[in-house]
Amino acid sequence: MPKPDLSKLLFHDAHKQFAKEDEKIIRQAKKLDDLVIPVLCKIKGVLGVTSEGTDYVDQYVLGTKSISTGYHPEFQLHIDYVDFPQDKGKLEIIKFQGWPPIFNGDMIRAYIFVGEKKTLHNSEHKERKGLIFVKHEGSSSGFSTFSTPYVYFQRAFKKEEEALRIEKLAGNKVLAAYLNQDLFPENSQYWQKSKLVLP
């Protein structure tokens, strides 16, 4: 009677264990929409910052060269909470690309993405809209590709966060809305029908 192939048995057991772990991770994962948390707050300080952006390009003869991408304005809004779950972390500063007309004493509602990536073990997972995402990368030889599936979990708020959207308020009325579309996670098509990108 032939002896069982221990390496195959171990691989099979490991594959089953990874499958169980992946299912548990997927059950606990959240859709992108559920990871955008609105924060109602009052502005107690505004700081506008301008910084020069830099990018790098590869040159065949001279090697890598840095180039300026221009100057980029950023708002840093120091806040007092009006409605914020304290058990979710300690948020003190909201950052936003650009200089919207927001001033000390204004009431705003900021929408902040608090998702954190978690990679799945099995590379054969298919994309599931809004829940499972797959990154495809080519090998150095160029003859094959690697697939890395992942999901998002909710994390605690950090001391400083960037806002996807800011609404300037007067009572319950939205006076103006400002978007930072470059900050939206994953592809922009996912958000086309979201209320976050509407006036």
81: nearest Cα among 101, 48, 108:
108
Mean pLDDT of the chain: 80
Query: How sure is the predictor about 49, in pLDDT bands with cuts at 50, 70 and 90?
Result: confident
What residues form DSSP beta bridges with 111?
38, 165
pLDDT reading at 109 higher than 70 = yes
Q: Work out the average pLDDT over 12-35.
A: 82
Indicate the DSSP class of residue 84: -
Question: Strand 36-59 to strand 133-138: parallel, antiparallel, or no bridges (unpaired)?
Answer: unpaired
pLDDT reading at 146 higher than 80 = no
Whole-number pLDDT of residue 65:
60
| Percent of the chain surpassing pLDDT 90 | 35
Cβ burial of 105 (10 Å; 0-12, 13-18, 19+) is exposed
Cα separation, 103 vs 123, in Å, equals: 48
- Are 92 and 78 in contact by the 8 Å Cβ rule? The answer is yes
Any idea where the domains of the chain sit in the sequence? Answer: 24-197
What residues form DSSP beta bridges with 39?
110
Neighbour count for residue 114 (Cβ, 10 Å): 20
Whole-number pLDDT of residue 92:
92
167: nearest Cα among 110, 114, 118, 112:
110
Which residues does 157 contact at the CB level (< 8 Å), separation at least 6?
Answer: 37, 88, 89, 90, 91, 112, 114
Q: How far is CA 166 from the centre of its chain?
A: 16
Query: How sure is the predictor about 11, in pLDDT bands with cuts at 50, 70 and 90?
Result: very low
Q: Work out the average pLDDT over 38-47.
A: 93
Query: How sure is the predictor about 116, in pLDDT bands with cuts at 50, 70 and 90?
Result: very high
pLDDT reading at 110 higher than 90 = yes
Query: How sure is the predictor about 154, in pLDDT bands with cuts at 50, 70 and 90?
Result: very high
Name the more confident of 33 and 10: 33
